[in-house]
Structure formats: structure tokens, C-alpha cells
Amino acid sequence: MAEKISLKAGDSRKIALEIPAGWYVGVFFTTQAAYEWRVVIGDGGSPYFDHKRKSTDPNPPIYGFFYALSNNLTVEISVSQSPLIRLHYERMNVSADSGEVVAKTITFAGEDSTDQDYNDLSLSITAWKKRG
């Protein structure tokens, strides 16, 4: 079931990613919005991913890849100009035949206006236990 967050202009919320240290993380980020969205992924130190995007054209998206050094990864999403921001997100785990979780994904859909199309922000963060 999707989790939902509502924010006001200038607000942001940190959401725990629940990704273990030592995992490999890929990020896909795009917008279809007149407002500027900012996504920061970090663990309290220097951010692993810190990008802004303001475009009604989803191309080209922004990609990122990093190695998680701590168990405290969070994502912070903000839009400074919009009077109301709504975020819906879902988590998914992928397990091997043994039942061990080997991948995790959290996907966000954002709305910064009143048309309720939830395409103003598209953000997917996927982590893998192993590389190669």
C-alpha cells in the first residue's frame, strides 16, 4: 500500500531508505513540472546524490549510482515554489529462492499542482546486495 506525504512550500521531509551499508544504489530522477524539485540522498555526511530539476519535458532524466557506506540512508525531497506538494511512494523487496532479500526499491510519484496526475516527480531508488 502506498505511503502518502503532504508538504507546504519550502518544507521537506527525510524518509529512511532502509538500505543496508555495503549495498549498491541506483537512482532515476525526472520531472514534468513547472516548479523546481530537489532530491538529496545522504546519511548525514556529504550527500551521495544531490540534484535539482525543473522541466516539463521528462527527457533527459538524471541518473546516479553509489555504494552505501552506512545503514542510515535517507532521501529528502523538496519543492520551494509550490503551495502544496503531495508524494506517494511504495517499497518493494526482491528475494532470492532462498528467501534472502537481494534487492530493494522505493519509488516516488509527486504532485505539485491540482491536476492530480502525479507525474510532476518520478523518482526510483533501487539497491542491490551484490554487484557483478
Q: Where are the domains positioned within the chain?
A: 3-128
Q: Which of 10, 15, 30, 18 is nearest to 109 (CA)?
A: 30
Q: Measured between alpha carbons, how far is 67 from 121 in angstroms, rounded to an integer?
A: 24
For residue range 77-116, list pLDDT tens digits in order.
Answer: 998 788 888 999 999 999 999 999 999 999 999 998 889 9
The candidate with the shortest Cα–Cα distance to 67, out of 110, 128, 6, 18, is 128
Unique residue bearing C-alpha cell 502518502: 4
pTM reported for the whole predicted model: 0.93
CATH assignment of 3-128, among 3.40.30.10, 2.70.150.10, 3.40.50.300, 2.60.120.400: 2.60.120.400
Type of residue found at 121:
L
Residues 12-61 pLDDT 10s: 889 999 999 999 999 999 999 989 999 999 999 999 999 999 999 999 99
Percent of the chain with pLDDT over 90: 77
The residue written with cell numbers 505511503 in the block is: 3
